[in-house]
Chain A
Amino acid sequence: MSEFAIELRDVVKKFITPEGNELAAVNHVTMQIKNGEFFSMLGSSGCGKTTSLRMIAGFEWPTEGEVYIDGELQGRKPPFLRPVNTVFQSYALFQHLTVFQNVAFGLEMEHTSKNDSRRRVGEALEMVRLTGMDKRYPKQLSGGQQQRVALARALVKRPKVLLLDEPLGALDLKLRKEMQLELKSLQKEVGITFIYVTHDQGEALTMSDRIAVMSFGKVLQMGPAVEIYERPANRFVADFIGESNFLDGSVKSVKDGQAVVYISAWGQELTGIVTSKVNVGDEVAISIRPEKIRLSDQSTPNAISLDGTVVNSTYIGSDTHIYLDVRGQRLKVWEQNRVSTLDPRAYYQNGQKIQLSLVPENTLVLPKE
């Protein structure tokens, strides 16, 4: 068994657009996905995540580069010869077959014996909690149930890797949250490598061991959720994952993984953590997450205190979102409502003068691209 369940080596996929132009949907992507990993490809539509998945499944062939499954070069192998299975966004359940026949389809293709197949389908349906539904037709099931049939149909084949193409996209929010946790625990239970394609960052952060953030056919950053969120590689990733305040500046000095950046709009220097290589003189972006700015009068060591004015304050239940004007720059700050009170002053008011403090540990220095 190879160390990697899936390996993409410098893969390029070009399409011809209807206007006759060449478009690289996937542009020199290299990825190594470990056995048993829950791996997500995250990006907005057109970033190449689905195309990458389809090249692993065998629905598309790379224009350049190679796809390896379990150490084996795939080349132009058709989908039915690859040890991977897919859960489709549209589920693609066979409408003319019952739930049982749908799940048994893949086993039938392997010529599994009737008894074996009946037992394994039963197990698969039990795993997705659909026992007793086997005689129904897909149309008689709810969206969530259909989703689980699609999952059982793919998992019953015991693939090396399960590919999931936005499988929760069609479900409502509450069901989606439930299914996220269910999928995660299911993956731990069966121990199969999952590759999950999504445009929903919350989904990717919740479930994945590692995430690849993609944009315009390229991988911008690959790593665990914490790393992606707390140490984004560049401004785009910080902007795409979660929310952030950005300030433009130029690097004055770099030392011990920290950089001093001059913010011309404020005429002030800020110190922050360096995530990717930056050089003195580089134009960079300072990124500060809204929940990591503190509004208080107490000064903390090596914090920089600034005066601001509340422009707008929105109470959203668990948090209050405060939008500040700080020397001509807009900053957003999320404050948790830790005290239960009806006093409006606790939730800040428009025009209120306020002091905020920025600490270097929560300040990131990011390349612009």
Chain B
Amino acid sequence: MNPHRRSPWIIAATLLTLFFLYAPIVVLIVFSFNASRISPLFTGVITKFGPFQLVSGNVVQSPCGPFHWFCDLSQNTEVLSAARNTLFVAVTATIVSTIIGTMAALALQRYNFRLRTFSQISLYIPIVIPEIVMGITILVMFSQLFTFINDSLHLTGDSQLGLGLWTVILAHISFMIPFVTLVVQARLQGLDKSYEEAAMDLGANEWTTFRRVTFPMILPGVLSGALLAFTLSIDDFIITFFTNGPGSPTLPIYVYGLLRRVITPQLNALSTVWILLVLIAVFLTQRVESRQR
């Protein structure tokens, strides 16, 4: 038997894995070009450019031609505002959680203090407990807190504290920190203490040592931690669902709302754009990381 020939089982397993991973995505993208407004079946691609024309539920002609649903999407102010909310939450939460998470990693890895083991273990809790439990507990905490503050300060009307985007951001930060910390810690573990000692030996104080030596050396870890946190935030549904206030949905919340009403290929177009953005982000960070090495 030729040892270089791969077993057909390996080939079959590979193909099946790829199929289950990517077939849904391909179908989703294909359907974003569907002519039918409501049909779950593919009725063909819109081919004609021209003024919008609808014949028995099928788009026959559109100013954007096959990209009709993307144009449609770009005029949907609700989607755009949901996208803005999502990005705002993700960017803010990523920045804050990356800073706090990195500091926590440094403290846990470089210093000995009381409750260190406890702190380390408590990091795993948000990762391990079910997201829905976390969502409910955060919601309960917020509502109790708000009731207490509103009552004790006699706040009324608009000045009352309530759920909103900022509570989503706080909730996201709290579940993103452990991910950042663990990723950065892994990087720090591989970083010999002598680099920092060398910097101090050459006359750098603690802050300069961090700025000039420690941080540049752990930067790849910090970046992958931040990226991980960002992707977790951008597609989080459950925790956002519990901590969000009315009137400012993020994309996942908005999509969920759409699903309950009517599904048009606009939703597919939205998902396609989303996938493309994530692909680009992943590609860019891969580039950055490979250059670091």
The answer on a CB contact under 8 Å between A92 and B195 is: yes
Residues of B within 8 A of A (CB): 192, 194-195, 197-205, 208, 212-213, 216-217
| A106 to B266 Cα, complex, angstroms | 60
> From B209, which residue of chain A is reached at the shortest CB distance?
A80
Q: Would you call A79 and B194 a contact (CB within 8 A)?
A: no
Q: Is A90 among interface residues, defined by CB-CB distance under 8 A?
A: yes
Are B204's CB and A80's CB within 8 A?
yes
- B202 in contact with A90 (CB, 8 Å): no
* Cβ of A297 under 8 Å from chain B: no
Residues of the A chain whose Cβ atoms lie less than 8 Å from the Cβ of B213: 94
A109 with B194, Cβ < 8 A, contacts A94-B213, A96-B216, A96-B217 known: no
Q: Is the CB of B202 within 8 A of A106?
A: yes
B198:A109 contact, CB within 8 angstroms: no
Is B203 touching A86 in the complex (CB atoms < 8 A)? no
* B203 lies within 8 A of A157 (CB): yes
Given contacts A94-B213, A96-B216, contact A79 B200 (CB under 8 A): yes
- In angstroms, how far is the closest chain A Cβ from the Cβ of B209? 8
The minimal Cβ–Cβ distance linking B291 to chain A, given in whole angstroms, is: 12
Q: Chain A: interface secondary structure?
A: loop
Complex: chain A residue closest to B216, CB-CB? A96
Determine whether the beta carbon of A59 is less than 8 Å from that of B197: yes
- Give which listed residue, B192, B201, B216, contacts A79 with CB less than 8 A: B201
Measured CB to CB, the closest approach of chain A to B249, in angstroms, equals 42
In the complex, what residue of chain A is closest to B215 when comparing beta carbons? A96
Q: Report the bound CA distance from A249 to B194 in whole Å.
A: 48
* Contact partners of A106 in chain B: CB under 8 A: 202-203
> Provided the pairs A95-B217, A96-B217 are in contact, do residues A88 and B203 lie with their beta carbons within 8 angstroms?
no
Could you tell me the distance in whole angstroms from the C-beta of B204 to the nearest C-beta in chain A?
5
Q: Given A59-B197, A109-B208: A92 and B203 within 8 A (CB)?
A: no
Q: A178 an interface residue at 8 Å Cβ cutoff?
A: no
**Which of B198, B204, B205, B217 is in CB contact (< 8 Å) with A88?**
B198
How many residue pairs bridge A and B at CB < 8 Å? Answer: 61
Q: Is the CB of B202 within 8 A of A153?
A: yes
Shortest Cβ-Cβ A-B pairs, 8 listed: A109-B203, A106-B202, A92-B198, A92-B194, A79-B200, A96-B216, A86-B201, A80-B203
Please report the C-alpha to C-alpha distance between residue A88 and residue B195 in the assembled complex, in whole angstroms. 9
In the assembled complex, the Cα of A144 lies from the Cα of B197 at a distance in Å of 21
Chain A residues close to B by CB (< 8 Å): 57-59, 78-80, 84-86, 88-90, 92-96, 105-106, 109-110, 153-154, 157
Write the nearest CB–CB distance from A100 to chain B, whole angstroms: 14
- Closest chain-A Cβ to B233's Cβ sits at a distance in Å of 29
- The docked-state distance in angstroms from the alpha carbon of A96 to that of B218 is 11
Do A78 and B200 touch across chains, with their CB atoms under 8 A apart? yes
| Known contacts A95-B217, A96-B216, A96-B217: A85-B194 contact under CB 8 Å | no
Note all chain A residues with C-beta closer than 8 A to B202.
Answer: 80, 85, 105-106, 109, 153-154, 157
List chain A residues, Cβ under 8 A from B204.
80, 105, 109
Give chain B residues whose Cβ lies under 8 Å from the Cβ of A80.
200-205
Bound: A94/B213 CA distance, A: 7
List chain A residues, Cβ under 8 A from B212: 105
Residues of B within 8 A of A105 (CB): 199, 202, 204, 212
CA distance A15 to B200 in the complex (A): 22
**Beyond known contacts A79-B200, A86-B198, A153-B202: 15 more, CB 8 A cutoff:** A57-B201, A58-B201, A59-B201, A80-B202, A80-B203, A85-B202, A86-B201, A89-B194, A92-B192, A92-B195, A95-B217, A105-B204, A105-B212, A109-B204, A154-B202
CA distance A105 to B211 in the complex (A): 13
Nearest neighbor of A103 in chain B, beta-carbon distance: B202
For this complex, 10 residue pairs linking A to B, each with C-beta atoms less than 8 Å apart, are: A58-B200, A58-B201, A59-B197, A80-B204, A80-B205, A84-B201, A88-B194, A88-B198, A94-B216, A106-B203
Closest B residue to A157 by beta carbon equals B202
Could you say which residues of chain B place their CB within 8 Å of the CB of A57?
A: 197, 201
- The distance in angstroms between the C-alpha atoms of A89 and B198, with both chains bound, is 11
Give A105 to B200 CA distance when docked, in angstroms: 11
